[in-house]
Amino acid sequence: MPRWEPDAPRRLHQAAFELYTERGYEQTTVAEIAARAGLTERTFFRHFADKREVFFENSDEFRAALLEPVAAAPASATPLEAVTAGLKAAGSAFPLELVRRRHALILANPELQERELQKLASLAASLAETLRQRGVPDTAAELAASTAITILRTALTRWVNDPAEQPWTAHLHETIDELRSLIAERTAASQI
């Protein structure tokens, strides 16, 4: 095996994803992932702490796809408008079939579900910080970030389960419209 392995993290992620799909997460070992990628276990552990982390290798890419549009939103954008721009871009960055396979693997394994929740909590914190940097007050930034993660999870579930395979943005906007309806109902009820 050569000493330098080009793009080892991507290769390991791809191998892990394939094996998790074929055999299941729990039945796949680090040794098998490394072998499928044409690498050693030592190389695996140079890049990832465990077999859960290799599954989430694209997290930084998703984080950037979400946060950059939020930071770049016009100054006149409300916090919800800014996070919507980020959600639109981030969801559109990945093909539906890949998202479906990933979602199914997470749902099938509690260990991956736990890590996904940790990643989403970290993403919410980064999103809130990005909003604060835009001048959004702390409480509003926290609420907008938490709401964005809820919108993301709801729209994503709709998207992966949609037999008509409507685009990501259709599910995103439907979810946001339902949120606005709930807020409008609450506002109307409080005025009675």
Look up residue 50 and give its DSSP letter. Answer: S
Residue 91, pLDDT > 80, answer yes
Residue 54 belongs to a domain: no
Residue 114 belongs to a domain: yes
- Same-domain status, 112 and 183: yes
Residue 176, pLDDT > 90, answer yes
- Same-domain status, 22 and 73: no
Report the distance separating Cα 44 and Cα 33, nearest Å.
8
**Any idea what the CATH number is for the domain that residue 35 is in?**
1.10.10.60
Confidence class for position 60, pLDDT limits 50, 70, 90: confident
Report the distance separating Cα 85 and Cα 87, nearest Å.
6
Expressed as residue numbers, the domain containing 32 is 8-49
pLDDT at 109: 94
| Contacts of 50-56 spanning 24+ positions with Cβ under 8 A | 51/16, 51/25, 52/111, 52/112, 52/115, 53/115, 54/9, 54/12, 54/13, 54/16, 55/13, 55/16, 55/17, 55/20, 55/25, 55/105, 55/112, 55/115, 56/115, 56/116, 56/119
Residue 2, pLDDT > 90, answer no
Tokens representing 185 are 């109902």
**Any idea what the CATH number is for the domain that residue 143 is in?**
1.10.357.10
Q: Is 2 left (phi over 0), alpha (psi -120 to 50) or beta?
A: beta
Domain count, the chain: 2
Residue 1 belongs to a domain: no
User: Tell me, what amino acid is at 58?
Assistant: N
pLDDT in tens, 101-142: 999 999 999 999 999 999 999 999 999 999 999 999 999 999
Residues 6+ apart with CB under 8 A from 78: none
pLDDT at 4: 54
For the residues 69-83, what does the mean pLDDT come to? 96
pLDDT at 58: 83
pLDDT at 117: 96
For the residues 37-59, what does the mean pLDDT come to? 93
Closest CA to 162 of 89, 84, 97, 93: 97
